[in-house]
Chain A
Amino acid sequence: MDVAQALVMGMQTWGIVGALVAAVFLTIGIDRIDEDARGAYAFRPLLIPAVLLIWPIILWRWWQIESERAAWAARYRAVRAPYGLAVCLMSIGIVVIVFTGLSVRQTWPAGIAPVQLTKGASQ
């Protein structure tokens, strides 16, 4: 398996797990942890793309609230502290990816001349 296949397989696996989490969370989980969502269904399909992407956070928050490990008010407070770190890491990551891409790309092998290995019948 080469790098491209591994990347595609990784993304497919992430998406499949995300779809399973979305199916379970949006039909069962959300009713259990958010009483305001009970009986409301129209908005749930709108959450599917986000759940596909950030399903680990969904599962973690679900577990925190379901098991009452988080403080009572925590469920209403956005997870802001790690956001700053994430923003910094993503910003640095973008720059690193761009410069790595530019630095490891091939250079046009202008110095390699064509070589005739055998003569043709018409020569």
Chain B
Amino acid sequence: MSEKPFFVGYLPAPGPLRMFLLAACVLLIAGLGTAGYLMGAAQDDPGPGAFRFDYGRQTVTGVIEMTPYPVLHVVEGNDRIMPGDSFMMTAAGKSGVDSRAMPLNGQLAQVSGIVLERGDLYMMQLRGGRNGLRAAEGDVPEIPTEPQGRWQLSGEICDGKCLAGAMRPGRGLAHKACANLCLLGDVPPIFVSTQPVLGSEFLLITGPGGTRLPRAAYDYVAQFITAEGEITKRGDLLVWEIDTDTIEVTE
């Protein structure tokens, strides 16, 4: 009969196996813990973006502009959102508010929702239906549009909602699939510049001539790229018309 020690669950472990089992347990626990720590430590800082439920529901009035992504230029603000601000809007989940905003393009509208904020960037997740977006009475001021020339920028294409705080991380390769789904759902795309451009490191991106972001650019979402395009300041917001033919992935 073999003298090889044999472990039976309901009996004490045989002497020769005890050290092996102890070492295996310690190595397994320590190894998994170390691997988890190293992988966590290797990740980029997700940043400070978040839903600002602590601000409460925000309601402001402004002019809707389809850039072609809907932007609100605030006319009547509140204690947090000032007149003259311009911000992007989104619906709940991975969807935009294009269909609701389009009939109000160029008109005064009242919007209501929760703010997502990441540093200087903020956008609003609107309430459903007319509670979130409806026409308002009043004079429509002219919104200044200031061409800022052609620029070469480096950075990353993200979806505005996750970047602003709907997800953590809201950018980077780990978030690429989510970002593309958001963009397909009409969430406004944002370019994060390596360094501030005309005072802002976040720019709304469109295609050339004020078209939607071309599908060719979706392949470069979440990668670090360099590209060229015209920048226009619309109200308080920089809009970059990216030229997809000039996109290059950085080293």
Contact = CB atoms under 8 A, between A and B. Distances in A.
Interface of A: 98, 102, 105-123
B23 interface: no
A24 B228 CA distance: 55
Contacts of A122: 146-148, 233
B149 A117 contact: yes
A114 B154 CA distance: 7
B197 interface: yes
Contacts of A106: 223-224, 249-251
16 contacts: A106-B250, A108-B224, A109-B194, A109-B251, A110-B194, A110-B195, A113-B194, A114-B153, A116-B149, A117-B149, A117-B228, A118-B149, A119-B149, A120-B232, A122-B233, A123-B147
A109 to B, nearest CB: 5
A16 B249 CA distance: 35
B95 interface: no
A121 B195 contact: no
Interface in B173-197: 173, 193-197
Contact of B151 (A98, A102, A116): A116
B226 A120 contact: no
B146 A120 contact: yes
A56 B153 CA distance: 50
B150 A112 contact: no
Interface of B: 39, 42, 44, 146-155, 173, 193-197, 223-224, 226, 228, 230-233, 249-251
What's the dominant secondary structure at chain A's contact region? loop
Contacts of B250: 106, 109, 112
Given A98-B39, A109-B250, A116 B226 contact: no
A107 B154 CA distance: 12
Most chain B CB inside 10 Å of its own CB: which residue of A98, A111, A113: A113
Contacts of A110: 194-195
A113 B151 contact: no
A6 B169 CA distance: 28
Contacts of A114: 151-154, 193-197
Given A98-B39, A108-B224, A120-B231, A113 B149 contact: no
Nearest to B42: A102
B235 to A, nearest CB: 13
Contact of B149 (A105, A109, A120): A120
Nearest to A115: B152
Given A108-B194, A112-B194, A123 B148 contact: yes
B146 A105 contact: no
Closest 7 CB pairs of A and B: A120-B149, A120-B147, A112-B154, A122-B146, A120-B148, A117-B150, A118-B150
Contacts of A119: 149
Contacts of B44: 108
Contacts of B146: 120, 122
Given A115-B152, A122-B148, 4 more contacts: A109-B194, A110-B194, A114-B193, A123-B148
